[in-house]
Structure 1
Amino acid sequence: MSTAPPRVLYSFPHPLGGDQGINEAAWQHVVGLHALGVPVTVYCTSVRKRLPAGLRVVETMVVAGRRVPHRAIGQANAYAYHDWRVAQVLRRRGSDFDVVHCWPRAVLRTSRAARASGVLAVRDVPSAHTASAFADAARAAQDAGVAVADRSSHRADPERLAEEQAEFDAVDVLLVPSAYVERTFVERGTPRERLIRQQYGFDVFRYAPGPADSTRPFTAVFVGRGEAAKGLHLALDAWQRSGIGKRGRFLIAGSMQPEFAAHYAHQLAAPGVEVRGFVDSVADLMRECDVLLFPSYTEGSALVALEAMGSGVIPLVSAATGAPVTDGVDGLVHEVGDVDRLTQQLRRVFDEPSRRRQLATAAFRTSRTLTWDEAAKRLLTAYSEGMQLRGTAVGTDRGNL
Structure 2
Amino acid sequence: MRVLFSFPHALGAPGIGWTAWNQVDGLARLGHDIHVVAASVARPVPSGVRVTETLAIGGKRIPHRAVGRDRAFAWHDARAARLVADGGYDLVHLWPTGPGRTAQAARAQRIAVVREAPNTHTEYAWKVVGDEVAALGLAGEVDTAHTANALRLRMEQADWEAATAILAPSDFVARTFREAGFSDDRILRHRYGFLPGSRRTRPRSASAAPLRAVYVGLGEPRKGLHYALEAWLASEASRDGTFTIVGRMLPAYAELLAPQLAHPSVRVIGFSHHVDAALAASDVLLLPTIEEGSALVTYEAQAQGCVPLVSTASGAVLDDGVHGFFHTPRDVASLTDHLDLVARDREALARMSAAAIDHSAQLTWDAAARVLADCYESARERANMNGTHAWPR
Question: Partner amino acid for 2:221?
Answer: A
Question: Partner amino acid for 1:180?
Answer: F
Question: Partner amino acid for 2:298?
Answer: A
1-structure distance, mates of 2:119, 2:141 = 18
Aligned pair 1:37/2:31, yes or no? yes
Aligned CA distance change for structure 1 residues 148 and 314 (closer, same or farther; 3 Å): farther
Question: Partner amino acid for 2:125?
Answer: A
**SS of the residue 1:320 aligns to:** helix
Name the structure 2 match of 1:62. 56
2-structure distance, mates of 1:124, 1:108 = 13
Aligned pair 1:7/2:34, yes or no? no
Aligned CA distance change for structure 1 residues 211 and 314 (closer, same or farther; 3 Å): closer
Residue of structure 2 aligned with 1:131, choices 123, 134, 154: 123
Name the structure 2 match of 1:354. 347
Compare 197-206 and 294-303 and name the one that shifted more: 197-206
1:27-176 alignment runs, 5 A limit: 27-92=21-86, 94=87, 96-106=88-98, 108-147=100-139, 149-176=141-168
Following superposition, the deviation at residue 181 of structure 1 comes to: 0.5
> Could you tell me whether the CA contact under 8 Å between 1:249 and 1:274 is conserved in 2?
yes
1-structure distance, mates of 2:125, 2:147 = 9
Aligned CA distance change for structure 1 residues 345 and 212 (closer, same or farther; 3 Å): closer
Following superposition, the deviation at residue 338 of structure 1 comes to: 0.6
> Could you tell me whether the CA contact under 8 Å between 2:4 and 2:93 is conserved in 1?
yes
Name the structure 1 match of 2:270. 277
Following superposition, the deviation at residue 215 of structure 1 comes to: 10
Name the structure 1 match of 2:213. 220
- For residues 261-319 of structure 1, the C-alpha deviation after alignment (integer angstroms, 9 at most, x for no partner) is 11110100112100011112111111110000000001011111111111110000111
Alignment root-mean-square deviation, CA: 1.9
Question: Partner amino acid for 2:16?
Answer: I
Name the structure 1 match of 2:258. 265
2-structure distance, mates of 1:372, 1:317 = 21
> Could you tell me whether the CA contact under 8 Å between 2:113 and 2:163 is conserved in 1?
yes
Following superposition, the deviation at residue 162 of structure 1 comes to: 3.2
Runs of 4+ in 1 over 4 A off after TM superposition: 210-217
**SS of the residue 1:168 aligns to:** helix
Following superposition, the deviation at residue 107 of structure 1 comes to: 5.6
Name the structure 2 match of 1:3. none
Compare 254-263 and 376-385 and name the one that shifted more: 254-263
Structure 1 residue runs of 5 or longer lacking an equivalent are 1-5
TM-score, with length taken from structure 2: 0.95
Aligned CA distance change for structure 1 residues 294 and 207 (closer, same or farther; 3 Å): farther
Following superposition, the deviation at residue 150 of structure 1 comes to: 4.7
TM-score, with length taken from structure 1: 0.93
Following superposition, the deviation at residue 138 of structure 1 comes to: 2.5
> Could you tell me whether the CA contact under 8 Å between 1:14 and 1:46 is conserved in 2?
yes
2-structure distance, mates of 1:111, 1:88 = 11
Question: Partner amino acid for 1:108?
Answer: G
**SS of the residue 2:254 aligns to:** helix
> Could you tell me whether the CA contact under 8 Å between 2:305 and 2:354 is conserved in 1?
yes
- For residues 330-371 of structure 1, the C-alpha deviation after alignment (integer angstroms, 9 at most, x for no partner) is 100111111011001001101111000011111111211110
1-structure distance, mates of 2:107, 2:334 = 48
**SS of the residue 2:193 aligns to:** coil
1:12-23 alignment runs, 5 A limit: 12-18=7-13, 20-23=14-17
**SS of the residue 1:203 aligns to:** coil
Question: Partner amino acid for 2:79?
Answer: R
Aligned CA distance change for structure 1 residues 243 and 146 (closer, same or farther; 3 Å): farther
Aligned CA distance change for structure 1 residues 206 and 281 (closer, same or farther; 3 Å): farther
Residue of structure 1 aligned with 2:280, choices 282, 287, 292: 287
Following superposition, the deviation at residue 216 of structure 1 comes to: 7.5
2-structure distance, mates of 1:41, 1:263 = 46
> Could you tell me whether the CA contact under 8 Å between 1:148 and 1:155 is conserved in 2?
no
Aligned pair 1:230/2:240, yes or no? no
Structure 2 residue runs of 5 or longer lacking an equivalent are none
1-structure distance, mates of 2:131, 2:40 = 37
Question: Partner amino acid for 2:387?
Answer: G
2-structure distance, mates of 1:58, 1:158 = 29
2-structure distance, mates of 1:216, 1:60 = 53
Compare 223-232 and 380-389 and name the one that shifted more: 223-232
Following superposition, the deviation at residue 397 of structure 1 comes to: 3.8
Percent identity, aligned pairs only?
41
Aligned CA distance change for structure 1 residues 149 and 192 (closer, same or farther; 3 Å): farther
Aligned CA distance change for structure 1 residues 266 and 206 (closer, same or farther; 3 Å): farther
- For residues 16-43 of structure 1, the C-alpha deviation after alignment (integer angstroms, 9 at most, x for no partner) is 113x421111111111111011111111
2-structure distance, mates of 1:79, 1:206 = 38
2-structure distance, mates of 1:290, 1:275 = 17
**SS of the residue 1:174 aligns to:** strand
Question: Partner amino acid for 2:173?
Answer: V
2-structure distance, mates of 1:147, 1:304 = 28
